[in-house]
Structure formats: C-alpha cells, structure tokens
Amino acid sequence: MATLAEVVAQYRRNRKALVHLQAMIEEACTKAESSLSEDPLPGDRLLRVPEVCKRTGLSRTTLWRLERAGEFPRRRQISTQTVGWLVSDVVEWIKSRRERGAG
C-alpha cells in the first residue's frame, strides 16, 4: 500500500504532465489556426490527410477515430481512393477545441 507521501508525489507528477499536455495542445491549436488563416478562400479548398494531420497535430488514426465518434468533421470523397476535408470545417473544429479548452 502506498504512503500518503507517495500518493501526493504521484498526484503532483500527474498534474505536472497534464499541465504540460494542455500547453502543447494550446500551442498546436495556435499554430494550426495561424496557418489556416493564411488561406485566401478557406471554404473553397480541400485539405488532404497529411495536411489535416499537420495543421491539427493529430495522427491519421486519431482523425478517423474522432470522425467515427462524430467529434471531427466528415471527410469528403475526392476520388475513389482519396478523401479530404474543407478548410472551413477544420478551422471551425480547431476553434471549437480552443473554446472548449478555455472554458
């Protein structure tokens, strides 16, 4: 059984890791938001998987998981083997995550 001191130490380590993770997410959202704001016609362009991963900081697998759970915009079929997302959908998702994290 862990002593009180060990439990407190573990709590502090976990808290520190959580704060660090939140800072990383905030930084990724800021980078993604700024890179997306450079698009001249955000709603008129489709982003392919590598670009969405780069701009959101998410892995390909996480994109699919979030999409399947209804927590990420639906992909659009570009061709038989190619999908993409509207820039405007990705921008809105990033903004919603930022607002949710700030609240």
Cα–Cα dist 80/10, whole Å:
50
Structure tokens at 67: 């999409």
Mean pLDDT computed over 70-87: 93
Mean pLDDT computed over 72-81: 93
Q: 89-99: per-residue pLDDT in tens?
A: 999 999 998 88
Q: 11-60: per-residue pLDDT in tens?
A: 888 888 888 878 888 887 777 666 655 555 555 789 999 999 999 999 99
**Is the pLDDT assigned to residue 61 strictly greater than 90?**
yes
pLDDT at 38 (0 to 100): 59
pLDDT at 36 (0 to 100): 59
**Is the pLDDT assigned to residue 73 strictly greater than 90?**
yes
**For the chain, how many structural domains are there in total?**
1
How far is Cα of residue 94 from the mean position of the Cα atoms in its chain?
A: 7
pLDDT at 82 (0 to 100): 92
Are the C-beta atoms of 34 and 98 separated by less than 8 Å? Answer: no
The CATH number of residue 69's host domain is: 1.10.1660
Q: Which amino acid is at 32?
A: A
In DSSP notation, 6-75 reads HHHHHHHHHHHHHHHHHHHHHHHHHHHHHHHTT-SSGGG-EEPHHHHHHHH---HHHHHHHHHTTSSPPP
pLDDT at 99 (0 to 100): 80
Domain interval for residue 83? 4-102
Q: Which amino acid is at 21?
A: L
- With left for phi above 0 and alpha for psi between -120 and 50, is residue 39 left, alpha or beta? beta
